Chain A
């Protein structure tokens, strides 16, 4: 199984909205709703931000939202803040786990 495809980097200004995409296949992202998103700050462990495509765990800001269309899942961050600057990874559960290559978000 290959990694899911993410753009290497994305940037935005404070207050803006950005979307990070994650492309897989009909066997993984497109085949079910077990898509999750993780935020990772440098030197820290990943943190769950979205699960089952669009659900937010308790404590995660409602500025973070998830969606899916076909074989592509998306994470949208609205009202960008400096603290959102981090790496973001998508993941798909297919009995085993596939991760995306990660997207580095820079807040300008």
Chain B
């Protein structure tokens, strides 16, 4: 079945970077777009960016521009999201989600990233 399996929880210090992975299975990885969405504790969903897995084109939210990088390894059917210059406000659950066109039909279970000194 179609699924996205994300990497495990991370604890980082302020100023560090984190890289979260999202391994896809059950479908043709390069035929879809992968989004990254985060949710701080008790807060709303917040879109970070997407990557077209077929050609590597990316688009990022202005809020994260310059701090976030989304990549793929098509040979491993895996997407990655790297967020740099971490601060306490980046403590959140980070989700990857497959997109057909404008809507996200399959989601990973989420990766908790905690930023604390």
Contacts and interface: CB of A to CB of B under 8 A. Distances in A.
Nearest to B6: A45
A48 interface: yes
Interface residues of B, number: 21
Contact of A95 (B44, B59, B97, B110): B59
B82 interface: no
A3 B44 CA distance: 10
Contacts of B50: 97
B103 A101 contact: no
A70 interface: no
Given A46-B95, A97-B35, A38 B105 contact: no
Contacts of B12: none
A63 interface: no
Q: Interface on chain B toward A: helix, strand, loop, or mixed SS?
A: strand
B66 to A, nearest CB: 16
Interface string B90-117: 0000010100011111011110000000
Nearest to B96: A45
Contacts of B55: none
Interface string A1-32: 10100000000000000000000000000000
A89 B45 contact: yes
A99 B45 contact: yes
A52 B105 CA distance: 12
Closest 10 CB pairs of A and B: A93-B102, A34-B102, A97-B47, A51-B103, A36-B103, A45-B107, A99-B45, A102-B44, A101-B44, A48-B105
